[in-house]
Amino acid sequence: MTHSEQLFQEAVHYIPGGVNSPVRAFGAVGETPRFIRRAEGSRLYDVDGRVYTDYVCSWGAMLLGHNPPAVKKAVLEAVQNGLSFGAATEAEVKMAKLITKLVPSVEMVRMVNSGTEAVMSAIRAARGFTGRDKVIKFAGCYHGHSDSMLAKAGSGGITTGVPDSAGVPQGCATDTLLAQYNDLNSVERLFQQNKGQIAALIVEPVAVNMGVVEPAEGFLSGLRQICSQNGTVLIFDEVITGFRLAPGGAQEYYGIAADLTVFGKIIGAGMPVGAYGGKREIMSQVAPAGPVYQAGTLSGNPVAMAAGLAQLGQIQSQPLLYQKLTREGEKLREGLRSLFPQYTVTGVGSFSCLFFTQEPVTDYSSAQKSDTQLFARFFSHMLNNGIYMAPSQFEAMFLSSAHTDNDIDCFLETAKEFLL
């Protein structure tokens, strides 16, 4: 038995399912989670001494790869000064200024501790601002695990067979309206049926929690228009796309401004962080400036701010970063397309997905046509040959700036052996 297997046996006794987040379990792909000891650049090292090239990148957070020198230095320096003060710091002001500079639709921003918390708070701000209760989300989009966002919430739910969580009060669920991704008619129908009642529409501008599904031409601009016409707050969940697709995220990439934007882990370079921000008139409603209450003991934590400022600082000092990430992403996608011409390869910039279906994938139901058993076999083959991917068909393969051409050649060579 390997050390990972021993640890997992022990873990399931003390931790539900042996993991602290469901997508970390390898149950759906018939494997045991590998316990990771350390990471550097594009590599993960497990407790059994095995080395993997990492295509999860802490679920997108590690834009520069693991343990980049600038981030490590900033964290070590911050730690010298103390871990948490529960009081205002200069780093929070710097972070707020940097985010508002990179994402111009964000005029004010509040730091929180996770993407889940950021979404939950953004929705509360939208409800407080509009005085309305209902929220539209898209089937297959994941916005964290707050009660109102757990309807048809994508990867974790699909993979673990819990698409709609137990324990969510009926009242919460009735205020969440479900539309189909890339289908503006389904959105318009909901607006007609709930006139004057929709506080917010939340969307992943590129959906990455049902595998990667790109927005069709006109979809995001259509949402922008419908929300403006109805006085509804358009929320872009940029937990994945923010600072990854472009310095200004999907909003810069597609040229659409949201009213509120949600960010996550990438702002903390791997530290537990989230943020939400947007129009001044909406964010001014948040306490103590306004009546929408939201708070957090560890929000804006000095070590997390130092890590995030160091990572986001690199975005500014490396103008070619995004070209490199996109070039690598395209190389991976082109390679996969030529190896698997019968299947569907999607992606944009530095995140990609290989769906084991012959049909185009444009929404939740087309994503679900993928052969998950075949994905499980592919996953095991890759894992056992040193390639660490997310243990679910409905996740992205992430690249970082630490990935090299050679890493991608190696990925494609390993994938080719799967076919033999």
Ligand X SMILES: Cc1ncc(COP(=O)(O)O)c(C=O)c1O
Choices 142-150, 187-195, 284-292, 309-317; region in contact with ligand X by CB under 6 A: 142-150
Among 132, 265, 279, 403, interactor with ligand X by CB under 6 A = 265
Choices 140-148, 177-185, 193-201, 400-408; region in contact with ligand X by CB under 6 A: 140-148
Per-residue binding string, ligand X, 274-313, x by CB under 6 A, is x---------------------------------------
Decide: is 142 part of the binding site for ligand X (CB under 6 A). Answer: yes
Give the C-alpha separation, 274 to 265, whole Å.
6
CA quadruple 219, 221, 225, 230: dihedral sign: positive
Closer to ligand X by CB, 266 or 402: give it: 266
Q: How far is the CB of 325 from ligand X (least distance, A)?
A: 18
Closer to ligand X by CB, 114 or 400: give it: 114
Helical H runs in 63-114?
69-80, 90-102
Catalytic residue among 52, 55, 142, 388, which? 142
Helices 405-419/321-339 angle, 10° precision: 10
Decide: is 143 part of the binding site for ligand X (CB under 6 A). Answer: yes
Per-residue binding string, ligand X, 244-263, x by CB under 6 A, is --------------------
Specify whether the CB–CB gap between 370 and 356 falls below 8 A: yes
Decide: is 119 part of the binding site for ligand X (CB under 6 A). Answer: yes
Cβ-based neighbour number of residue 70 at 10 Å = 16
Among 102, 139, 240, 310, interactor with ligand X by CB under 6 A = 240
Closer to ligand X by CB, 115 or 248: give it: 115
Decide: is 392 part of the binding site for ligand X (CB under 6 A). Answer: no
Touching ligand X, residues 161-220 (CB under 6 A): 204, 209
Choices 37-45, 68-76, 232-240, 347-355; region in contact with ligand X by CB under 6 A: 232-240
Decide: is 148 part of the binding site for ligand X (CB under 6 A). Answer: no
* 237 flagged as catalytic: yes
SS3 category, 205: coil
Cβ neighbours for 63, distance < 8 A, ≥ 6 positions apart? 57, 243, 244, 266, 269, 311, 315, 325, 400, 401
* 181 flagged as catalytic: no
Decide: is 43 part of the binding site for ligand X (CB under 6 A). Answer: no
**# of chain residues touching ligand X (CB under 6 A):** 16
Closer to ligand X by CB, 223 or 408: give it: 223
Q: What are phi and psi of 269, to 5 degrees?
A: 50, 30
- b/e per residue 334-356 (b: at least 16 CB within 10 A): ebbeebbeebbbbbbbbbbbbbb
E strand segments, 147-291:
176-179, 198-203, 233-237, 260-263, 274-278
Among 237, 259, 328, 363, interactor with ligand X by CB under 6 A = 237
SS3 category, 2: coil
Decide: is 335 part of the binding site for ligand X (CB under 6 A). Answer: no
Among 41, 211, 249, 264, interactor with ligand X by CB under 6 A = 264
In terms of Cα–Cα distance, which of 108, 131, 57 is closest to 388?
57
Specify whether the CB–CB gap between 107 and 113 falls below 8 A: no
Closer to ligand X by CB, 53 or 209: give it: 209
Give the C-alpha separation, 146 to 150, whole Å.
7
Q: How far is the CB of 345 from ligand X (least distance, A)?
A: 20
Q: How far is the CB of 119 from ligand X (least distance, A)?
A: 6
Q: How far is the CB of 22 from ligand X (least distance, A)?
A: 11
In terms of Cα–Cα distance, which of 120, 83, 50 is closest to 286?
120
Specify whether the CB–CB gap between 13 and 45 falls below 8 A: no
* 416 flagged as catalytic: no
- Residue 167: which region, alpha, beta or left (left: phi > 0; alpha: psi -120 to 50)? left
DSSP letter assigned to residue 34: P
Among 4, 42, 89, 114, interactor with ligand X by CB under 6 A = 114
Decide: is 116 part of the binding site for ligand X (CB under 6 A). Answer: yes
Question: HSE-up of 353 (CA within 13 Å, CB side)?
Answer: 29
Active site (catalytic) residues: 142, 237, 265
Contact positions vs ligand X (CB under 6 A): 59, 114-116, 119, 142-144, 204, 209, 237, 239-240, 264-265, 274
